[in-house]
Amino acid sequence: MKKKLTFLGIETSCDETAASIVIYDNKKPHVISNIISSQIKEHKRFGGVVPELAARSHMQNIDFIINEALRKGGVHLKNIDGIAATAGPGLTVCLNVGLNIGKSLAAFLEKPFIAVNHLEGHALSPGLEKKIKFPYLLLLISGGHSQYIIVKGVGRYKQIGTTIDDALGEAFDKTAKILDLGYPGGPNLEIKAKKGDENFFILPRPILNRGGCNLSFAGLKTAVLREAQKIKKDKRLKLNLAASFQKTVIDILKKKTSVAIEQFRDLTKKNSADLIVAGGVAANEKIKEALSELCRNKKINPIFPSKEFCGDNAAMIAWAGIQNFKFRKGNQLNVTAKSRWPLDSKAPFMKGPGLKI
């Protein structure tokens, strides 16, 4: 196999249009360019992502973003060794934009095309910055997913916990919307929470002491809604509620992460390992501080990707593409967009009424 691999990564699964050039020199990856165009302005007035608008915006921007990634990276299209694009999970209309342009370019250039699982992009993202040893425990917290996964290797995932209702990023976004804290919800809530009293409201911590390391946030969000209706427009109380919400989330994550660490140790028989926290919510400083402290107590090494690699980006897609290409897969021009694509295909589906855990 060729020693050096230059990959173009493309990401359009939700509301970020992104392209990146990553070069793997047979030792480590180098992110040569990482271009992200966020659609915050388009979706702000709706308070959430509108799929058709997002897809239209991806279509308008994708060729410019790819050209920017190539230009900034100083790489000509003919020198690309392969193209990786997100094929799922995500909004199908959005995924199709990146997937189709990625496939067309690959077919035209007669280069391999790799269809990447977005969650695998997040799962392997810390490898962009440092060498990571398998197996490790992954806490993936994003807008659509909240999972504990044992990562045994590229393509080898065992899910040990997941949310049974809302994802954590979704809970942040909905809480911010209820409290009118601005869009995008998660980052704005974190900023506003700094000014509030986190001990003012006592909020529920659903399934804290049962259900292993499965998570639940819907009841917490409903409690925020109830309290918000009582306090109406009182600004101080709103900040207190935002801070109390964030503190409750941290309490839940601390407890569930320590359960997940025990399960990881039981299943892998490994005591010393890394806990990798990835996905958009991993950018939250308070969560980072709390989980880092927990890891110190539990004698496990915490790893948080830099902010530019926490949220959606195409460098993580290029890197997952390179690893899949190297270790396992050939051309994947026949893969279609998938709205649901779990990392662990054997994991039980944990959502729906009547679920007992």
**Taking CA 97 as the corner, what is the angle to CA 93 and CA 99, rounded to the nearest 5 degrees?**
110
Sign of CA dihedral 268, 327, 130, 287: negative
- Asked if residue 11 binds ligand KG4 (CB under 6 A), the reply is no
- Report the nearest approach of Zn ion to the CB of residue 280 (Å): 6
- Asked if residue 309 binds ligand KG4 (CB under 6 A), the reply is no
Using the contact rule CB under 6 A, the part of the chain among 184-192, 220-228, 325-333, 347-355 near ligand KG4 is: 184-192
- Asked if residue 88 binds ligand KG4 (CB under 6 A), the reply is no
- Asked if residue 19 binds ligand KG4 (CB under 6 A), the reply is no
- Report the nearest approach of Zn ion to the CB of residue 13 (Å): 7
Q: Which residue is nearest to ligand KG4 (CB)?
A: 280
Tokens of 317: 């897609």
Position among 82, 88, 102, 311 found at the interface with ligand KG4 (CB under 6 A): 311
**Which 268-327 residues touch Zn ion, going by CB under 5 A?**
312
- Asked if residue 173 binds ligand KG4 (CB under 6 A), the reply is yes
352 contact partners, CB below 8 Å, separation of at least 6:
none
- Asked if residue 305 binds ligand KG4 (CB under 6 A), the reply is no
Binding mask 186-205 for ligand KG4 (x = CB under 6 A): xx--x---------------
- Asked if residue 34 binds ligand KG4 (CB under 6 A), the reply is no
d(CA 312, CA 17): 9
18 close to 36: Cβ distance less than 8 angstroms:
yes
What is the chain's length? 357
325 binds, among ligand KG4, Zn ion, none (CB under 5 to 8 A by kind): none
For tokens 């939700």, name the residue. Answer: 14
Using the contact rule CB under 6 A, the part of the chain among 140-148, 204-212, 225-233, 316-324 near ligand KG4 is: 140-148
Distances (CA, A) of 262 to 169, 172, 268: 25, 27, 10
Nearer CB in complex with Zn ion: 16/274: 16
172 binds, among ligand KG4, Zn ion, none (CB under 5 to 8 A by kind): ligand KG4
- Report the nearest approach of ligand KG4 to the CB of residue 336 (Å): 20
- Asked if residue 11 binds Zn ion (CB under 5 A), the reply is no
Q: In whole angstroms, what separates CA 320 from the centre of its chain?
A: 13
Count of CB atoms situated within 10 Å of the CB of 151: 22
- Report the nearest approach of Zn ion to the CB of residue 122 (Å): 6
237 binds, among ligand KG4, Zn ion, none (CB under 5 to 8 A by kind): none
Count of CB atoms situated within 10 Å of the CB of 348: 10
- Beta strands 274-278 and 136-141 are parallel
- Report the nearest approach of ligand KG4 to the CB of residue 80 (Å): 25
- Asked if residue 96 binds Zn ion (CB under 5 A), the reply is no
27 contact partners, CB below 8 Å, separation of at least 6:
none
Binding mask 127-146 for Zn ion (x = CB under 5 A): ---------------x----
Question: Starting from the edge strand earliest in sequence, which strands make up the sheet with 5-11, in order?
Answer: 29-38, 16-24, 5-11, 82-88, 113-117
216 close to 207: Cβ distance less than 8 angstroms:
yes
The DSSP result for 142-173, as a single string, is -SS-EEEEEEEETTEEEEEEEBSS--HHHHHH
Position among 11, 165, 227, 312 found at the interface with ligand KG4 (CB under 6 A): 312
Q: Which residues contribute to the site for Zn ion (CB under 5 A)?
A: 142, 312
Q: Which residues contribute to the site for ligand KG4 (CB under 6 A)?
A: 14, 142-144, 169, 172-173, 184-187, 190, 279-281, 283-284, 311-312
